[in-house]
Amino acid sequence: MFHPRKRLDARSGFGFSIPQDMKRELKPEEREEIVNAVAAGDRVKATSLYLSATEGNLTDAQNFVRSLTEEKIEAAREAEKKDSGEKG
């Protein structure tokens, strides 16, 4: 049975190996592009950008985009509290 996380090697019959962890860190400009996509409400684009930039997996990409979305929501709440505190 095939296991997607199982490492392939010469013994597998394919003659090549796939590194277990191909993920790399985001460059600042890549992160900014993802943040902009989240700010625009385009989580699909943000996830795609993350996957392309890091060569990571879908779960990592979704978790990263989710954390950015939560940060955006929290920042909006804080701004709303600040605005309502100044007006009241």
Digit-coded pLDDT (tens) for 10-47: 444 444 443 445 578 999 999 999 999 999 999 999 99
The whole-model pTM stands at: 0.66
| Residues ≥6 apart with Cβ < 8 Å to 47 | 58, 61, 62, 65
Rounded to whole angstroms, the Cα distance separating 2 from 34 reads: 33
Q: Is residue 14 part of a domain?
A: no
Tell me: pLDDT of 72 over 80.
yes
Q: Is residue 8 part of a domain?
A: no
Rounded to whole angstroms, the Cα distance separating 3 from 64 reads: 24
The domain in which residue 82 lies consists of 26-87
Mean pLDDT for the chain overall: 80
Q: Is residue 19 part of a domain?
A: no
* Residue that wins the pLDDT comparison between 82 and 2: 82
Asked if residues 46 and 12 have their Cβ atoms less than 8 Å apart, the reply is: no
Domain count, the chain: 1
What pLDDT band is residue 86 in, cutting at 50, 70 and 90? Answer: low
